Protein backbone atom coordinates (compact mmCIF):
# COMPACT_ATOMS: atom_id res chain seq x y z
CA UNK A 1 0.00 0.00 0.00
CA UNK A 2 1.21 3.47 -0.83
CA UNK A 3 2.88 5.88 1.53
CA UNK A 4 0.54 7.75 3.78
CA UNK A 5 -0.95 7.32 7.20
CA UNK A 6 -2.98 4.19 7.77
CA UNK A 7 -4.43 2.11 10.57
CA UNK A 8 -4.60 -1.63 10.07
CA UNK A 9 -5.80 -4.73 11.92
CA UNK A 10 -6.17 -8.48 11.52
CA UNK A 11 -8.65 -9.97 9.05
CA UNK A 12 -10.03 -12.31 11.73
CA UNK A 13 -9.89 -11.16 15.34
CA UNK A 14 -11.91 -10.91 18.52
CA UNK A 15 -9.83 -8.22 20.16
CA UNK A 16 -8.87 -4.64 19.61
CA UNK A 17 -5.32 -4.77 18.32
CA UNK A 18 -4.66 -2.05 15.77
CA UNK A 19 -1.44 -0.96 14.10
CA UNK A 20 -0.23 2.17 12.36
CA UNK A 21 2.12 2.98 9.53
CA UNK A 22 2.98 6.16 7.69
CA UNK A 23 5.29 4.47 5.21
CA UNK A 24 4.73 2.09 2.35
CA UNK A 25 3.27 -1.09 3.81
CA UNK A 26 3.14 -4.54 2.25
CA UNK A 27 0.15 -6.42 3.63
CA UNK A 28 -1.10 -9.93 3.10
CA UNK A 29 -4.74 -10.80 2.56
CA UNK A 30 -5.21 -11.26 6.32
CA UNK A 31 -4.89 -7.52 6.96
CA UNK A 32 -7.64 -4.90 6.87
CA UNK A 33 -7.14 -1.17 6.61
CA UNK A 34 -9.36 1.60 7.90
CA UNK A 35 -9.76 3.94 4.95
CA UNK A 36 -10.80 7.46 5.87
CA UNK A 37 -13.73 9.18 4.26
CA UNK A 38 -12.05 12.50 5.01
CA UNK A 39 -8.70 13.95 4.12
CA UNK A 40 -5.72 12.42 5.91
CA UNK A 41 -4.98 15.86 7.37
CA UNK A 42 -8.38 15.94 9.11
CA UNK A 43 -7.69 12.79 11.13
CA UNK A 44 -5.83 12.64 14.42
CA UNK A 45 -4.17 9.28 13.76
CA UNK A 46 -2.22 9.09 17.03
CA UNK A 47 -5.32 9.77 19.11
CA UNK A 48 -7.46 7.40 17.02
CA UNK A 49 -4.89 4.60 17.23
CA UNK A 50 -4.63 5.00 21.01
CA UNK A 51 -8.42 5.03 21.32
CA UNK A 52 -8.86 1.90 19.19
CA UNK A 53 -6.26 0.06 21.30
CA UNK A 54 -7.68 1.34 24.61
CA UNK A 55 -9.31 -0.53 27.48
CA UNK A 56 -12.56 1.31 26.63
CA UNK A 57 -12.65 -0.30 23.18
CA UNK A 58 -11.63 -3.62 24.71
CA UNK A 59 -14.75 -3.34 26.87
CA UNK A 60 -16.91 -2.49 23.83
CA UNK A 61 -15.52 -5.50 21.92
CA UNK A 62 -16.66 -7.69 24.81
CA UNK A 63 -19.96 -5.96 25.61
CA UNK A 64 -21.08 -5.76 21.97
CA UNK A 65 -19.57 -9.13 21.03
CA UNK A 66 -17.53 -7.56 18.25
CA UNK A 67 -15.57 -10.07 16.25
CA UNK A 68 -13.89 -9.32 12.96
CA UNK A 69 -14.55 -12.25 10.63
CA UNK A 70 -13.93 -11.42 7.00
CA UNK A 71 -16.02 -8.27 7.31
CA UNK A 72 -15.37 -4.86 8.84
CA UNK A 73 -19.06 -3.99 9.03
CA UNK A 74 -19.61 -4.88 12.69
CA UNK A 75 -16.48 -2.98 13.62
CA UNK A 76 -17.38 0.08 11.58
CA UNK A 77 -20.93 0.32 12.88
CA UNK A 78 -20.42 -0.64 16.53
CA UNK A 79 -17.47 1.46 17.62
CA UNK A 80 -18.22 5.07 18.47
CA UNK A 81 -15.49 7.45 17.34
CA UNK A 82 -15.11 10.49 19.61
CA UNK A 83 -16.00 13.87 18.17
CA UNK A 84 -12.78 15.79 18.74
CA UNK A 85 -14.44 19.22 18.74
CA UNK A 86 -16.14 18.21 21.99
CA UNK A 87 -12.81 18.39 23.83
CA UNK A 88 -12.03 22.09 24.14
CA UNK A 89 -11.08 22.70 27.77
CA UNK A 90 -7.42 23.20 28.57
CA UNK A 91 -7.47 20.06 30.71
CA UNK A 92 -8.93 17.96 27.89
CA UNK A 93 -6.38 19.28 25.41
CA UNK A 94 -3.53 18.44 27.80
CA UNK A 95 -4.84 14.89 28.24
CA UNK A 96 -5.13 14.50 24.46
CA UNK A 97 -1.57 15.80 24.02
CA UNK A 98 -0.29 13.29 26.56
CA UNK A 99 -2.16 10.49 24.78
CA UNK A 100 -0.58 11.55 21.46
CA UNK A 101 2.94 11.74 22.94
CA UNK A 102 2.65 8.32 24.56
CA UNK A 103 1.16 6.77 21.42
CA UNK A 104 4.04 8.16 19.39
CA UNK A 105 6.46 6.52 21.83
CA UNK A 106 4.51 3.23 21.65
CA UNK A 107 4.93 3.27 17.85
CA UNK A 108 8.67 3.91 18.24
CA UNK A 109 8.91 1.05 20.74
CA UNK A 110 7.08 -1.29 18.39
CA UNK A 111 9.21 -0.38 15.37
CA UNK A 112 12.45 -0.68 17.30
CA UNK A 113 11.45 -3.93 19.01
CA UNK A 114 10.67 -5.43 15.62
CA UNK A 115 14.03 -4.29 14.27
CA UNK A 116 15.90 -5.32 17.44
CA UNK A 117 17.50 -1.89 17.62
CA UNK A 118 18.54 -0.22 20.80
CA UNK A 119 17.24 3.29 20.99
CA UNK A 120 16.69 6.01 23.50
CA UNK A 121 13.36 7.70 24.02
CA UNK A 122 13.87 11.41 24.57
CA UNK A 123 11.32 12.06 27.26
CA UNK A 124 12.83 15.26 28.52
CA UNK A 125 11.63 17.52 25.76
CA UNK A 126 10.08 20.83 26.67
CA UNK A 127 6.63 19.91 25.36
CA UNK A 128 6.43 16.96 27.73
CA UNK A 129 7.43 19.01 30.78
CA UNK A 130 5.04 21.81 29.89
CA UNK A 131 2.17 19.34 30.05
CA UNK A 132 3.18 18.27 33.55
CA UNK A 133 3.05 21.76 35.02
CA UNK A 134 -0.75 21.88 35.17
CA UNK A 135 -1.25 20.68 38.73
CA UNK A 136 -5.02 21.21 38.69
CA UNK A 137 -5.30 18.10 36.51
CA UNK A 138 -3.66 16.01 39.22
CA UNK A 139 -1.37 14.42 36.66
CA UNK A 140 1.98 15.00 38.38
CA UNK A 141 1.98 11.40 39.65
CA UNK A 142 1.12 10.21 36.15
CA UNK A 143 4.05 12.22 34.79
CA UNK A 144 6.38 10.42 37.21
CA UNK A 145 4.92 7.07 36.15
CA UNK A 146 5.27 8.03 32.49
CA UNK A 147 8.97 8.79 33.01
CA UNK A 148 9.47 5.40 34.66
CA UNK A 149 7.58 3.59 31.87
CA UNK A 150 9.54 5.38 29.15
CA UNK A 151 12.88 4.75 30.84
CA UNK A 152 12.07 1.05 31.10
CA UNK A 153 10.57 1.01 27.59
CA UNK A 154 7.62 -0.78 29.20
CA UNK A 155 4.88 -0.80 26.55
CA UNK A 156 2.41 -2.54 28.87
CA UNK A 157 2.75 0.21 31.49
CA UNK A 158 2.57 2.91 28.83
CA UNK A 159 -0.69 1.35 27.57
CA UNK A 160 -2.07 1.32 31.13
CA UNK A 161 -1.26 5.03 31.44
CA UNK A 162 -2.91 5.77 28.09
CA UNK A 163 -5.99 3.86 29.27
CA UNK A 164 -6.08 5.91 32.49
CA UNK A 165 -5.85 9.12 30.47
CA UNK A 166 -8.81 8.03 28.31
CA UNK A 167 -10.90 7.21 31.39
CA UNK A 168 -10.08 10.66 32.79
CA UNK A 169 -10.79 12.37 29.44
CA UNK A 170 -14.17 10.64 29.01
CA UNK A 171 -14.99 10.93 32.72
CA UNK A 172 -15.57 7.17 33.03
CA UNK A 173 -14.96 5.24 36.24
CA UNK A 174 -12.29 2.72 35.32
CA UNK A 175 -12.99 0.55 38.35
CA UNK A 176 -16.60 0.02 37.21
CA UNK A 177 -15.54 -0.91 33.68
CA UNK A 178 -12.83 -3.26 34.96
CA UNK A 179 -15.33 -4.82 37.35
CA UNK A 180 -17.83 -5.41 34.51
CA UNK A 181 -15.13 -6.93 32.32
CA UNK A 182 -13.99 -9.24 35.10
CA UNK A 183 -17.54 -10.24 36.08
CA UNK A 184 -19.06 -10.78 32.64
CA UNK A 185 -16.45 -10.93 29.90
CA UNK A 186 -13.19 -12.51 31.06
Angular region, 83: left φ>0, alpha ψ -120 to 50, beta rest: beta
Q: Look at the chain and count its residues.
A: 186
Helices 140-152, 155-170: crossing angle, 10 deg rounding: 150
For the beta carbon of residue 135, count every other beta carbon within 10 angstroms. Answer: 8
- Determine the Cα–Cα distance for residues 10 and 32; give it in Å rounded to an integer: 6
Q: What is the pTM of this model?
A: 0.84
Cα–Cα distance between 184 and 173 in angstroms, integer? 17
Q: Which of 176, 162, 172 is nearest to 95 (CA)?
A: 162
Pairing of strands 68-69, 12-13: antiparallel
Residue pLDDT tens, the chain, 186 long: 567 788 888 878 888 889 888 887 777 777 888 777 777 778 899 999 999 999 999 999 888 887 777 666 667 777 888 999 999 998 899 899 889 989 998 998 887 665 555 555 555 455 565 655 555 566 677 777 888 888 888 999 999 999 999 999 999 999 999 999 999 987
- Specify which residues 68 forms β-bridges with: 13
146, 159, 151, 128: which is closest to 49 by C-alpha?
159
Q: Are 98 and 131 in contact (CB under 8 A)?
A: yes
Name the DSSP letter for residue 31.
E
Strand, coil or helix: 69: strand
Give 171's contacts (C-beta < 8 A, 6+ positions apart). Answer: none
H helices then E strands: how many in the chain? 8, 5
Amino acid sequence: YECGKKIFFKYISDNNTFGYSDTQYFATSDTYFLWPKRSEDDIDYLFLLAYLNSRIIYFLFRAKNIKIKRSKTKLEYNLPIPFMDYFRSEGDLILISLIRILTSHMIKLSINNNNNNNFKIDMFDEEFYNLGCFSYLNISERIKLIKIALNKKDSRLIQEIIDDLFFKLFKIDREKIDSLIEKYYD
